[in-house]
């Protein structure tokens, strides 16, 4: 496959995933390759490749003899994913504290500054994505590539699941996210592993609460 085709595949993937994250399609709705190709004005080949990638990430599911559908997880399934995420993120922050260097702390600080800037501009959709990226950055800085990959896969699931989470009172909810992320960063900076694990667990439990799962 040449670079041109790779580029088209990536563009199609990003465009379709963005539509899913923004809630353009109803959970559980049928996904049709031809309709998507028309929507994003691309040929069906890169769209097909993008769909295959989204199926592998779990955002789209293939039902035998029925076709492709956007995921529509039950509350119980979401709870299970949250429990898994908390366990993995605790490991990520613990490992991050053991390995992080001073200059790497700057990356986390920069991420929070970007979040705060977007929050002041009321760019709440961007804040939602930056929220997930902050958590992934911690996993990346842990140096555990497998852990990072696992959390990256979970991140796609939660971006879709949370598409409506902060639609109500987005300012207040994102302000709380910023406060909680600031606490996480401070515990990482002071290498307080126990407090950092508690802070990251509470941050994810905030999402659980916002999704009205508890």
* Section 5-23 average pLDDT: 85
pLDDT of residue 213: 60
State which H helix or E strand residue 58 sits in. Answer: none
* pLDDT over threshold 90, residue 69: yes
| Beta carbons within 8 Å of 149's beta carbon, 6+ residues apart | none
| Beta carbons within 8 Å of 130's beta carbon, 6+ residues apart | 111, 114, 115, 118
1 pLDDT band (50/70/90 cuts)? very low
pLDDT of residue 117: 98
Give yes or no for a contact between 93 and 197, defined as CB atoms under 8 angstroms apart. yes
| Beta carbons within 8 Å of 165's beta carbon, 6+ residues apart | 128, 173, 207, 210, 211
* pLDDT over threshold 50, residue 140: yes
pLDDT of residue 7: 86
Task: Enumerate domains of the chain plus CATH numbers.
Answer: 3-70 (1.10.10.10), 75-210 (1.20.120.530)
Which of the two residues, 153 and 117, has the higher pLDDT score? Answer: 117
């Amino acid at each position: 496959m040449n670079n041109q085709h790779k580029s088209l595949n990536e563009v199609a993937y990003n465009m379709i995933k963005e539509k899913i994250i923004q809630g353009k399609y109803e959970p559980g709705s049928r996904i049709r390759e031809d309709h998507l190709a028309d929507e994003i004005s691309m040929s069906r080949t890169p769209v097909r490749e993008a769909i295959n990638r989204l199926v592998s990430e779990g955002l789209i599911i293939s039902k035998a003899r029925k076709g492709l559908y956007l995921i529509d997880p039950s509350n119980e399934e979401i709870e299970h994913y949250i429990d898994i995420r908390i366990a993995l993120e605790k490991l990520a922050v613990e490992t991050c504290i053991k390995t992080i260097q001073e200059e790497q702390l700057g990356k986390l600080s920069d991420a929070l500054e970007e979040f705060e800037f977007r929050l002041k501009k009321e760019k709440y959709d961007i804040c939602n994505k930056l929220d997930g990226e902050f958590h992934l950055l911690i996993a990346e800085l842990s140096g555990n590539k497998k852990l990072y990959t696992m959390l990256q896969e979970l991140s796609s699931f939660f971006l879709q699941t949370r598409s409506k989470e902060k639609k109500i009172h987005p300012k207040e909810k994102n302000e709380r996210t910023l406060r909680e992320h600031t606490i996480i960063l401070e515990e990482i900076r002071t290498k307080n592993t126990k407090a950092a694990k508690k802070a990251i667990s509470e941050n994810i439990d905030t999402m659980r609460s916002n999704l009205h799962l508890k």
